[in-house]
Structure 1
Amino acid sequence: MSATGQIFIEALDLYAYHGHFAEEGRLGQRFSMDLVLDCDLRASSLSDDIADTVDYGEVVGLATRTFSGKRFKLLEAAARALAEAILAEYPAVTKVAVTLRKPAPPIPGRMDSVGVKLDFTR
């Protein structure tokens, strides 16, 4: 029996200093992140042991460090850095979908958020 599936982290809320505009780098802003990791969950579904899966708590820590460790002008570049870090750290992950949102972008108009969604495959 196959147990291929996904581990997901939704609406991880982080504060960082990313953006194209100088005030974004100076003042910072909130970001929201969703991560979806495709991986084989067969071993962990049988063993019930965290050592046999990708620990999503560790993924949150890695994503937080990666996202906050460098200033990015574009969400696209930040999404790539996140995916590369996850794929490098977790060989069991075959695909990563990264969604990044700016809930309060410094642009005119009324909207809930702006953002990007990028998929990366090993």
Structure 2
Amino acid sequence: MSTRPALHRLDRITITGITAIGRHGVFEHEKRDGQPFIVDAVLHTDIRAAAETDDLLQTANYGETAELICALITGPAYDLIETLAERIAAEILLTFAVSAVEVTIHKPKAPIQVPFGDVTVSIYREQQ
């Protein structure tokens, strides 16, 4: 009989569709004119303490997370949305009590010369 504690899969807090105008892209007109960027984030954390105490301080505040993401979208311009995704993931891991984060950046108005629906970059990062 094993005495190891039962493993708990991490819970998820998901925020989708955070939208703001950013100036990310490799072309001068992208940096000059800006365009919409949409971000989805999944925060991997253990919400049991928050649920037990009904205390917002015991969980990742999704309102503050959304504000942080919006500030990064509208902040300094990067050539690549890959860089934006990395910066968002790093800030979430630094700021909130989460074990891991998934970030998806949507660039629906990317300068592509053929019909397309969306361009996304998705990353998964864990606490070190």
- Determine which of 85, 96, 115 is the counterpart of 1:110: 115
Structure 2 residue 99 is matched with structure 1 residue 79: no
Q: TM-score of the superposition, structure 2-length normalised? A: 0.89
Structure 1 runs (4+) deviating above 4 angstroms are: none
Identity across the alignment (%): 34
Q: Distance in 2 between matches of 1:65 and 1:76?
A: 17
User: 1:75, CA displacement in angstroms?
Assistant: 0.6
Structure with more of its chain in strand, by fraction: 1
- Determine which of 29, 45, 54 is the counterpart of 1:48: 54
Unaligned runs of 5+ residues in structure 1 are none
- Per mean C-alpha deviation after superposition, the further-off stretch among 29-38 and 62-71 is 62-71
User: 1:4, CA displacement in angstroms?
Assistant: 3.0
* Equivalence map 1:27-66=2 (5 Å): 27-66=33-72
Unaligned runs of 5+ residues in structure 2 are 1-5
Bigger Cα Rg: 2
Structure 2 residue 31 is matched with structure 1 residue 25: yes
- Per mean C-alpha deviation after superposition, the further-off stretch among 61-70 and 81-90 is 61-70
Query: How many equivalent residue pairs?
Result: 121
